[in-house]
Chains A and B, each alone.
Chain A
Amino acid sequence: MNLYVCIKQVPDTETKIKVNGDGSGIDAAGIKWIMSPYDEFAVEEALRVKEKNAGSTVTVITAGPDRTVEALRTALAMGADNAIHVELPETADSAFAAKALAGALKKEAKVDIVYFGKEAIDDGAAQVPQLVATYIGVPSVGTVVGIEYNGTTLKCKREIEGGAFEMVEVSQPVVVSGSKGLNEPRYATLPNIMKAKKKEVKKMSLADVGASPSDQKIKMKGLQLPPPKQAGKKIEGDAAAQAKALVTALHNEAKVI
């Protein structure tokens, strides 16, 4: 099977965000970059399918500035076979990124399944999987926490609200975006990390994939940190007194209960 995983590099979740000079993005100095956590489920799923289907290959693709090659190396160290880096400006939105990824996928001879994480934890847009699916003309199933594979059909367990699930049957080729619960991602071993450093990463330009800045649909500006909160009220007393005072405050003052 020809398995693809699209991943994104994002700031580590511990990162304290600092806004850059013109509010168009963040100050990248000192940021530790990681593969977006949900993408790890996508890589793991592709690797497991490959391991059960002899002759399969897993290709990871990212679109982003040069630093994002590191995320590809992480996926290679986990066990991916090939890696493609599409050079995309830092400020690209979901639509531009999706055009770039779709363009790279369209150059491939045959695509069976494309895996994504359900969203990247930087812009949290949760758009790219469905956009790519539409651009390459295949169906998509999102926020998947379990997949059963039967020949060329997939039975996906899609998480929705209230603890409910949709069981969705779909045929390949297909785009699937994964969430926590899909699997337990593996850790790369040291020898594999070393080996991954030497693997080739195929570079593609925007021209190669037929994308351009005119594909961009929205822009973020005026980034601001949330206003610092005023010191809250301390509720004193023993538990019973605290409970009484709190309920009074929530009812009469905050008017939220």
Chain B
Amino acid sequence: MAKVLVFVEQRDGKLKKASFELLGASAKAGNETHAVIIGDGVAGLANECASYGASKVHVAQDGALKNYTNEAYARALVAAIKTVSPEIVLASHTPMGRDLLPSVAAQVDGALATDCTSLAFSGASLTLKRPVYSGKAMADVEYMGSGIKMATVRPNSIGVPKPEAGKTADATNLTVDLGGLKTKILEVVKGNSARPDVTEAGVVVSGGRSLKSADNFKIIEELADTLGAAVGASRAAVDAGYRPHRDQVGQTGKVVSPSLYIACGISGAIQHLAGMRTSKCIVAINTDPQAPIFQVADYGVVGDLFQVVPALTAECKKLKE
């Protein structure tokens, strides 16, 4: 058993599913599981943390913490660590978690392993695996020295536990010195997409160069929306201007591991595979039976995506009815 502190991430007062994965995994292992929420007026989120496994909830609340900045959030998380004195600190490998944890590790002289895809608790330590060379290989992590053991975990790697209804926790306020900050958020520009982010979605539908235009991506979007999925793209599709770079999956794009990845008209270049091969179930739709993508596919559909994808959307709609 260990004392574990989980950085529970919120944006606009909404907690991230990926944080629940960490709370659940820690609680299931029988750890003393603390949650820390940082934001402005976030104490009301404490019960939700409790329902996913937190036994204690700490909150850092301040106008200066309303939106994320590395500087202010690092001070808050360091304050939480000083209060809780955990053996282990966990966060999700999200745009916020991955930016924050290194700064905190440097301040508390902790040992940090980032972007882990499997985690198991062993006494007061952690057994971790992480992809290296963008998923071309996997490595075990060995912690050195006696510092706090810290890790960021790739979203969807563990799975979200079932919440336990009726569980409650009191939020304990942390005191954080927020004087003399050198960074300031001017504005958070919202994305114009109602779809989930490609790194967080449970299902990703990706299209390649073969879509031939931004407009044709509509059929990919329709399938994605039917499945509540995110839209991804190959670099060739991004370079051709069919999709923004934020949708790019691969070695120089996003690394994703959804439970289902559907690659439509993507050849499966080594750089693309690096970004999606840890997906639990991979479907490839491609006219070329020799396309390398079929080597990693659990289900291979040799066919024209312009026919198969709309047919798939129709079948999925039937399933939902």
Q: What is A's interface to B at a CB cutoff of 8 Å?
A: 11, 13-17, 19, 26, 37-38, 94-95, 98, 121-131, 133-135, 138-143, 155, 159-171, 174, 180-181, 214, 216-226, 229, 232-235, 239-240, 242-244, 246-247, 249-251, 254, 256-257
Contacts and interface: CB of A to CB of B under 8 A. Distances in A.
Contact of A244 (B189, B195, B294, B315): B315
B245 A180 contact: yes
A121 B134 CA distance: 6
B252 A155 contact: no
Contacts of A160: 95-96, 188
Interface stretch (B26-34, B48-56, B97-105): B97-105
22 contacts: A15-B136, A121-B251, A122-B132, A127-B105, A127-B114, A130-B70, A130-B99, A134-B102, A134-B107, A139-B70, A159-B246, A161-B200, A164-B189, A167-B189, A180-B252, A216-B144, A217-B144, A219-B142, A220-B140, A229-B297, A250-B281, A256-B203
B102 A131 contact: yes
Nearest to B69: A168
Given A121-B134, A124-B115, A143 B95 contact: yes
Given A125-B115, A143-B99, A161-B95, A225 B68 contact: no
Given A124-B115, A126-B114, A140-B70, 17 more contacts: A13-B252, A15-B133, A17-B137, A143-B95, A159-B95, A159-B246, A161-B94, A161-B199, A161-B200, A164-B188, A167-B187, A169-B184, A217-B145, A224-B138, A243-B308, A254-B298, A254-B299
A219 B112 CA distance: 10
Contact of A169 (B135, B186, B195, B200): B186
B144 A218 contact: yes
Contact of B299 (A180, A218, A246): A246
Given A11-B133, A164-B188, A226-B135, A134 B95 contact: no
A131 B106 contact: yes
A218 B111 contact: yes
B182 A170 contact: yes
Given A139-B70, A166-B68, A257-B316, A125 B283 contact: no
Interface size class of B (residues with CB under 8 A): 35 or more
Nearest to A134: B106
B185 A166 contact: yes
B266 to A, nearest CB: 15
A181 B241 CA distance: 13
Interface in B232-260: 244-246, 248, 251-252, 255, 259-260
B300 interface: yes
A90 to B, nearest CB: 13
Nearest to B295: A229
Contacts of A135: 106
B301 A246 contact: yes
Given A134-B106, A164-B190, A218-B112, A251 B319 contact: yes
Contact of A126 (B102, B140, B299): B102
A124 B283 CA distance: 26
Contacts of A161: 94-95, 191, 197, 199-200
Contacts of A13: 134, 251-252, 270-271, 274
The 6 A-B pairs at the shortest CB distance, nearest first, are namely A163-B191, A134-B106, A243-B311, A217-B111, A130-B102, A239-B307
Nearest to A125: B114
B4 interface: no
A17 B283 contact: no
B303 interface: yes
Contacts of A121: 133-134, 251-252
Contact of A234 (B71, B110, B302): B302
B107 to A, nearest CB: 6
B133 A17 contact: yes
B251 A127 contact: no
Interface string B169-194: 00000000000001111111111110
A171 B296 contact: no
Contact of A217 (B143, B278, B302): B143
Given A222-B140, A235-B299, A124 B244 contact: no
Contact of B103 (A134, A225, A250, A256): A134
